[in-house]
Structure 1
Amino acid sequence: MFKNLFKKGNSETKIYAPLNGKIIALEEVPDPVFSQKMMGDGIAIKPSDGKVCAPVDGEVVQVPDTLHAVGIRAEDGSEILIHIGLETVSLNGQGFTAEVKMGDKVSTGDALLTFDLDYIRDNAENDITPVVVTNNQQTGKQYTMTDETEAKTGETVIITASKK
């Protein structure tokens, strides 16, 4: 019951890059749902390959049937949505493979989804991948985005959550 109160590092959570690629400010995503932060705050990554890994230790809370996104609840309560490409829901799962299901416990770096990057580039509006903390207004934490320009899966800290 009290284990999270005494956990080391509880005051700060590091959210790592879930995929390799070029880091882009969320405001530059060519979709107002993301650029205007309607889904929450975060960053975006222009992927260089088709593997999505867990950005934190946590639980898988969302894997839509269309497999174009995955949601993770971090141990600190932050809910992170990784949305592969824009308008990829219309692909109905083609080009995507889920490596996890809802309820799975994951560790940073575990495979979540794989996707055919060429297929996404050829059949979706854009391959840019927003990584958004969807409950950033409710957690009581401050989220700081990285200044880095290149994301390396499981190595680059893209967002840091700290107590306000």
Structure 2
Amino acid sequence: MFQFFKKKQDSAFYLGAPVKGMAVDLKEVKDPTFSTGMLGQGAAVIPSEGKIYAPADGEIAMVFDTLHAVSMTAENGVEILIHVGLDTVELKGQGFEGHVKAGDKVKKGDLILTVDLEAVKAAGYDVVTPMLVCNTDDYAAVEGISGKEVAPGENLVSIKMK
């Protein structure tokens, strides 16, 4: 009877931050592939440490040979790309260490990559780490959180189902 007094249920699905650092809007990423949403919507983090974690429960779809990026599919079908740094493919894996491989099942918070941030910066690369929902069009809304420090696993991207 008094249903209107009950708090409305949040129907969004959240991806956790893949790394500790400052959350920034994708539009601030200095690469149009990410800033224009070409690969999907999401958020980015300027990392303060080099441990990259799974943002959701799911399965690793691909670990790039150069270890600078990982794609995964969450249990509910959300397709996620985590890309460590800009143009870091040029490092050919130097400074990166993978902890998962394609087909691995992961839980939110599992360590998937480590990166030597200082080595990446010393080589002249930006370490900003975009996390994208590659199948953005499958959802009513995909919105990133920005402008605050985040810890791994804290809500970074909200996804509202259609």
Counterparts of 1:1-164 in structure 2, within 5 Å, are 11-137=11-137, 139-147=138-146, 149-154=148-153, 156-164=154-162
- 1:148, CA displacement in angstroms? 5.2
Contact (CA 8 Å) 2:139, 2:161: kept in 1 or not? yes
Q: For residue 155 of structure 2, what is the amino acid of its counterpart?
A: V
* 1:85 and 1:124 in contact (8 A); partners too: no
TM-score, with length taken from structure 2: 0.90
Q: 1 CA distance for matches of 2:73 and 2:55?
A: 10
Distance 1:18 1:52 in 2: 5
For 1:145 and 1:42, locate their aligned partners in 2 and report how far apart those are by CA, in whole Å.
5
Q: Describe the shift of the 1:148–1:126 C-alpha distance in structure 2 as closer, same or farther (beyond 3 A).
A: closer
* SS state at 1:30 partner: coil
- Aligned-partner Cα distance in 1 for 2:147–2:56: 18
Task: Calculate the aligned-residue CA RMSD, in Å.
Answer: 1.4
1:5 maps to: none
Instruction: Give the 3-state SS of the residue equivalent to 2:119 in structure 1.
Output: helix
Identity of aligned pairs, percent?
44
Contact 1:53 1:113 in 2 (8 A): yes
Structure 1 runs (4+) greater than 4 angstroms displaced: none
Q: Compared with structure 1, are the counterparts of its residues 101 and 124 closer, same or farther at alpha carbon in structure 2 (3 Å cutoff)?
A: farther
Mark the runs of 5 or more structure 1 residues left unpaired by the alignment. Answer: 1-8
- Structure-1-length-normalised TM-score: 0.88
- How many positions carry a matched residue from both structures? 153
SS in structure 2 at match of 1:70: strand
Distance (Å, rounded) in 1 between the aligned partners of 2:160 and 2:81? 19
Distance (whole Å) between structure 2 residues aligned to residue 13 and residue 92 of structure 1: 34
Which runs of 5 or more structure 2 residues have no equivalent in the other structure? 1-8
| 1:144 shift after superposition | 2.5
Partners of 1:148 and 1:103 lie apart in 2 by 34
Structure 1 residue 125: Cα displacement = 2.5
Does the 8 Å CA contact 1:84/1:127 hold for their aligned counterparts? yes
Partner of 2:6: none
TM superposition shift of 1:162: 1.8
